[in-house]
C-alpha cells in the first residue's frame, strides 16, 4: 500500500464513531487518531491501535453488540451479573 491510500479513509472516520476492526474482529469506538493509525477503545477498558484501512463503520448489529458488552461490563462492575 502506498502512502496516499489511507488518506482517503480518514475523512470518513471521526472520534466517537463506532467502527468494526477487521484485524481484531471486534467493534470499538474511535478515541483518537495518530497519523494513519486509529486509537480504539472498548467499554471494558481495552485499548489498541489499528491502521485506518482495517476499520469500517459498524453495522447496526455491531453497535448493539458493543452496547451489550458495555451493559454486561457495568453489571459485573456492580457485582449484579451472574458469571
Q: Which residue has the higher pLDDT, 11 or 65?
A: 65
Segment holding 66, helix H or strand E: helix 60-78
pLDDT at 5: 65
Q: Is the dihedral of CA 56, 61, 64, 66 positive or negative?
A: negative
Q: What share of the chain in percent tops pLDDT 70?
A: 82
Query: With 90 as the cut, is the pLDDT of residue 78 above it?
Result: no
Amino acid at each position: 500500500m502506498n502512502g496516499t491510500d489511507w488518506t482517503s479513509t480518514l475523512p470518513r472516520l471521526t472520534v466517537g464513531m463506532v467502527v468494526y476492526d477487521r484485524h481484531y474482529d471486534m467493534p470499538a469506538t474511535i478515541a483518537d487518531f495518530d497519523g494513519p493509525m486509529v486509537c480504539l477503545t472498548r467499554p471494558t477498558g481495552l485499548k489498541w491501535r489499528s491502521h485506518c484501512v482495517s476499520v469500517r463503520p459498524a453495522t447496526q448489529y455491531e453497535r448493539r453488540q458493543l452496547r451489550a458488552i458495555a451493559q454486561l461490563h457495568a453489571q459485573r462492575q456492580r457485582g449484579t451479573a451472574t458469571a
